[in-house]
Chains A and B, each alone.
Chain A
Amino acid sequence: MIVDTNVYLSRWPFRRLAGDETPDLVARLRSRNVAQAWAGSFDGILHKDIGGVNGRLAADCRTYGRDFLVPFGSINPKLPGWREDVRRCAEEYGMPGIRVHPNYHGYDLKDPAFAELLHAAAERRLLVQLVVSMEDERTQHPLLRVAHVDVSGLPALVANTLSARLVLLNWARALRGKSLQSLADAGAIYFEISMVEGIEGIARLSERLPPERILFGSNFPMFYFESALLKIEESGLPEERKKLIFEGNAKRILSPTGRP
């Protein structure tokens, strides 16, 4: 059984994808033994009507994936009234977390707005999924060049927001070596695997990070779902560690206490 912590609904602006219709996405994930998928919305990256984006996300998850799709609403803290979007995600839609794209929304993590967002999420015990990149910077559309999020300031921010819980998505192109270590040491930061590469890449990652911090994420439908799955197979992990990555860690941080 798999909990996939990184899927997107709706349309990627630059390419049609197999699975970009929600019923099809659900069918494809179910056929691959996924029991639960944490879903954000591609619309949340570029749309300014974030309230509409999150309303559609919640409705799609309810209509096509009740007890299967778990919505993570988009929040853009540079938009006026963003706190109302957080409130709706938590209170109206019962979302367990939010997903942020700082590089597409034009702020860096040193911006006070991000610290405010972390506090607002922590107050409501919302998980924050921070998407570090969407695409290889070398192959982006020439009219939409977006750098990776610079996460160097994140350890200090998390240290100042003790109850913050973050999941980094699509981070592996931007984060290596010591910076990965310092992030893991800083607090409750979790790492999904969709962009981890290299021979036995997941095994190597699990030597550098506490095993309870690693989450299965496919980045489907942007990526082929099979990539994350086969990387785990290639890594030859013990069954207990595989189970943690496939489902155990995700279930734990989504539980009411959210603590190990």
Chain B
Amino acid sequence: MFHRRKLLTSFCAGGAWEILRGQPQPPGAPAAARRFRIWDAHCHLHAVPGNTPEERMEVLIRCADRLGIERLIVSQGYSANLHPKPDQFREENDRVMRAVRRFPDRAFGSVYLSPSFPEFSLREFDRCVRDGPMAGIGELEMDKRCNAPEMDAIVERAISMMAPILQHTWLKLDGNEPGESTPQDLAELARRHPEASFICAHTGGDWERGIRAIRDVPNILAEIAGFDPTAGVVEMAVRELGPERVVYGSDVGGRSFASPLAKVMGADIPDSAKELVLGGNLRRLFAPILRAKGYRA
């Protein structure tokens, strides 16, 4: 359970928020924590300690509580395999559903699919999202680039349920891995499906190029996980895309919750923009499918 009172007590006792305010135990510290409802678009069970999905989820929730993160969107299970087979996709999705079931008011599952297996992916979407508890698609990884025509049927399925799609993207200096998507690939896919909602995971890593690549495609939101907390990323994203097109995601457990969160907390942007980036945009994006499934958000 998310114990807001416990969380606020911990902040009052002294912690990062207190230091950020620059004064010992300020009466305003709880308000600093309370003023944002934080949702994380991008969580995995990979590289998290624990022998079961439930144990790993307990670790994630313990850390989320320390930072005041309310909701986690979890995908991909334990997998570090970039080219899984259908039975492995199914196993990872089962792990995610087990993990989320342990904390149903703190997390949503998002289904792991691949355009390399289009028929299987549609069946898996139906099992996990249409008929199951999951609320989104992705993070889709680097099995096949996302501008492939095989993605179209998957996106159509997402549109039918108003499920957002989280797509891995990178722009590596020495070239991407085979099958690894760029923000430009995602822009191409998103232009083919203007009714769908896409989240550009990592914003290409090389964010000064990635932000520009998706700027003219309004159904793509930039997500800030998976690269160093380089100063200026959130300011540029908000300037170029508008605050309603930028979302916080962490990419735990390979990354911390903290360093991507710092990109927003440390950004020179108004609190109204931080509210959107930290959770407001995700709540708006997921509202239709969560409402359809009868989830409280």
Contacts and interface: CB of A to CB of B under 8 A. Distances in A.
The finding on whether chains A and B are genuine partners in a shared complex, rather than unrelated, reads: yes
Contacts of A201: 256
Interface string A17-44: 1110000000000111100000000000
Contact of B261 (A16, A199, A223, A230): A230
B206 A139 contact: yes
Contact of A198 (B254, B262, B263): B254
B258 A230 contact: yes
A227 B258 contact: yes
Contacts of B171: 139
Interface string B220-245: 00000001111110010000000000
Interface string B31-65: 00000000000000001110000000001101100
B258 A233 contact: yes
Nearest to A223: B229
A33 B23 CA distance: 7
Interface residues of A, number: 40
Contacts of A47: none
Contacts of B20: 32-33, 226, 229
Nearest to A135: B228
Interface in B236-287: 252-259, 261-263, 265-268
Interface residues of B, number: 47
Contacts of B67: 230, 233-234
Nearest to B23: A33
Contacts of B265: 224, 226, 230
A185 B261 CA distance: 34
B48 A139 contact: no
B16 A229 contact: yes
The interface residues of chain A, by DSSP majority, are classed as: loop
B231 A32 contact: no
Interface in B182-211: 205-206, 208
A18 B268 CA distance: 8
Given A199-B59, A234-B63, A222 B16 contact: no
Most chain A beta-carbon contacts within 10 A, residue among B15, B16, B22: B16
A231 interface: yes
B231 A17 contact: yes
Q: Which 5 A-B pairs have the closest CB atoms?
A: A224-B266, A230-B258, A233-B16, A226-B262, A227-B262
Given A139-B172, A199-B49, 14 more contacts: A15-B208, A135-B228, A136-B205, A137-B173, A198-B256, A199-B47, A199-B60, A199-B63, A199-B253, A224-B262, A224-B263, A227-B229, A230-B256, A234-B258
Interface of B: 14-17, 19-20, 22-23, 47-49, 59-60, 62-63, 66-67, 170-174, 205-206, 208, 227-232, 235, 252-259, 261-263, 265-268
